[in-house]
Amino acid sequence: MPQRRVTIKQVAAEAGVSITTVSHVLNDVPGKRVHPDTRKRVKMAATRLGYVPNGLAQSLRTQRSNTIGLVGDEIATTPFAGKLILGAQDVALSRDAIVFVVSTGYQRDVENREIEELLRRQVDGILYASMYHRTVELPPQLASVPTVLINASCTTPNVPWVVPDEVAGGEDAADVLLAAGHRRLAFINDVDEIPAAFGREEGFRRRAAKAGLRADDLQVVTAETDPAGGYAAARRLLEDTTRPTAIFCFNDRLAMGVYRAATELGLRIPEDLSIVGFDNQEFVADGIFPGLTTIELPHYDMGVWATEQLFDRIDAASQGTGPAPTARLRGPVIHRDSVAPPS
């Protein structure tokens, strides 16, 4: 605790009024009318003394901490966490709240411990975030406090969640390629059976079909979502006699491997092969050559949406809360230089 801070009592003394009055003017209590002169006196005294209200005492009294918790599964290894946190923080700050950030490392026991610690500090609500889109089971302790999920859905009724619109992402990727004139496409999907894999494939296929592509004009293969996986898959795809003229990659890391495969095979990007990625991991998408056209994941926006929802539910906690809203947010496509008409 910082060294002895100045309290409302001292301000009252300095201004020659009661603490009640100080509280009134400093909080601008609606019904209370206080003489302009005393009001000014109080304010001056407060600034002169450098008064800062003790938030702990306020919270104890008002039963509201203006504090929320953000529990994430991993915060260190992905670049997404930062944007998500920032989104949450930006709206929190706009409501004079701040956010506790904790990372569980996928360990149930530390998760429990951390949630306990948050609850104990009377957080007004909790953001429960996943670093990759999935469905989760909500820790039971969260039942007692307003909660909203980020980048994850769950079956627990009445808890709001927000996830990326994977289908739209797949559609957008297809559109970019189709618009450039490609008619022989491939999609290197994640081997894992996760929402992102299903959704993106669905959207991609849908658009391809709509554009009149025949079944064998669209190959879908799976791979590990790292450069090695992308490389292997791309080698297979590109050595084929009727190779695709464009590849949509499940993510940017995988796309790095595709770049390498293309280079080794003497295929120029984008002249001989167009590529679209997913994630917009800045340092990779922007760092490889040529720059990778990709679909961005709306992490910041999800953070914002979720936090707004959270505050809505906190504020509405007194009244009955309605059914939980959910959202699928579309990420923008980031155009760089990896897409061109087929030659």
Residue 10 is a binding residue for a second copy (CB under 8 A): no
**Which lies closer to DNA via its Cβ, residue 51 or residue 132?**
51
Residue 117 is a binding residue for a second copy (CB under 8 A): yes
Residue 71 is a binding residue for a second copy (CB under 8 A): no
Residue type (1 letter), 273 = L
Residue 275, phi-psi category: left (phi > 0), alpha (psi -120 to 50), beta (remainder): beta
The total of other beta-carbon atoms located within 10 Å of residue 101's CB is 18
CA 53 vs. chain centroid, Å, equals 32
- Pairing between strand 274-279 and 125-135? unpaired
Residue 282 is a binding residue for a second copy (CB under 8 A): yes
Q: Which does 300 bind (CB under 5 to 8 A by kind): DNA, a second copy, none?
A: a second copy
Query: Cα–Cα distance between 111 and 301 in angstroms, integer?
Result: 25
Q: Which does 121 bind (CB under 5 to 8 A by kind): DNA, a second copy, none?
A: a second copy
Which residues, at least 6 apart from 279, have a Cβ–Cβ distance to it below 8 Å? 251, 252, 253, 285, 294, 295, 296, 297
Q: Are 103 and 124 in contact (CB under 8 A)?
A: no
Contact residue for a second copy among 7, 10, 122, 222 (CB under 8 A)? 122
Identify the DSSP state of 144: G
**Which lies closer to DNA via its Cβ, residue 35 or residue 268?**
35
Contact residue for a second copy among 114, 171, 224, 308 (CB under 8 A)? 114
Residue 2 is a binding residue for a second copy (CB under 8 A): yes
Identify the DSSP state of 325: P
Query: Which residues contribute to the site for a second copy (CB under 8 A)?
Result: 1-3, 52-57, 59-60, 63-65, 67, 75-79, 81-83, 85-86, 89, 93, 96, 98-103, 110, 113-114, 116-122, 124, 144-145, 226-227, 231, 253, 256, 260, 263, 281-284, 286-289, 300, 317
